[in-house]
């Protein structure tokens, strides 16, 4: 399967797509990327996506029709299991299970962060900022010495958290710095992820402007 042609069906801003893109880049796997407009989903996409969401991974098969995978972590784990290169999970079953649990935690953390970023009123913004900060404090307590989640090796938990932290690199420091204040391990981890080539390359060069445009269109407080 390492030689199968892979196509990632994507949206330029989707953090879940970025997870899959980071894994593909970490594995040094050639792939095509097709962006769609989620506000006007094409018929061909709706015909192959059971959920109507991205990412999708289309896997070409020499002996049959293309296979379609959906859900970001299903895609990421398939790639980790089938493509060459170092696994992004530890060999030990208990450590692997623990990391999968923190991936679930990341999805909930992303929800708090996203609601903060898109808040249109101050009560919602304050509540979601506090919830996000609480989750960061929990991460601070479990992080290894770094530079990555479990230490020296980049892994799947890193691939999942990197798109989340990217948002805060785009905000006014007056907004983002207090959120990460007195969290030295989380802050160092965030910086290491931002510098990782796979993380940088997982989005287009115009990502920052696209994200700011999204905030303006949704009349978020942070758009100002």
Residue in the structure block whose two tokens are 């931002």: 194
Question: Would you put residue 49 in left (φ > 0), alpha (ψ -120 to 50) or beta?
Answer: beta
Q: Which of 6, 14, 79, 136 is catalytic?
A: 14
Residue in the structure block whose two tokens are 């896997």: 59
14 is a catalytic site residue: yes
Number of CB atoms found within 10 A of residue 115's CB: 16
Give the whole-angstrom CA distance, residue 54 versus residue 38: 9
Say if residue 57 is exposed, middle or buried (CB neighbours under 10 Å; 0-12, 13-18, 19+). buried
Cβ proximity of 163 and 202 under 8 Å: yes
Nearby residues of 96 by Cβ (< 8 Å), 6 or more positions away: 89, 90
Strand partners, 56: 9, 70
- The catalytic site residues sit at 14
């Amino acid at each position: 399967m390492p030689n199968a042609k892979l196509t990632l069906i994507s949206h330029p801003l989707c953090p879940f797509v970025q997870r899959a893109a980071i894994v593909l880049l970490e594995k040094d796997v050639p792939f095509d990327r097709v962006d769609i407009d989620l506000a006007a989903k094409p018929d061909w996409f709706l015909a192959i996506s059971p959920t109507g969401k991205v990412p999708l991974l289309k896997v070409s098969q020499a002996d049959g029709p293309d296979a379609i995978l959906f859900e970001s972590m299903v895609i990421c784990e398939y790639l980790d299991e089938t493509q060459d290169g170092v696994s992004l999970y530890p060999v030990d079953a208990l450590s692997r299970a623990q990391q999968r649990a923190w991936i679930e935690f990341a999805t909930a953390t992303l929800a708090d962060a996203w609601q903060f970023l898109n808040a249109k009123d101050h009560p919602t913004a304050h509540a979601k900022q506090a919830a996000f900060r609480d989750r960061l404090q929990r991460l601070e307590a479990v992080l290894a010495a770094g530079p990555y989640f479990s230490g020296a090796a980049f892994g799947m938990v890193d691939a999942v958290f990197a798109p989340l932290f990217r948002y805060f690199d785009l905000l006014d420091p007056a907004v983002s710095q207090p959120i990460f204040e007195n969290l030295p391990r989380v802050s160092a981890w965030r910086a290491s992820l931002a510098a990782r080539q796979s993380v940088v390359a997982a989005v287009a060069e115009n990502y920052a402007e696209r994200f700011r445009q999204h905030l303006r269109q949704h009349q978020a407080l942070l758009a100002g």
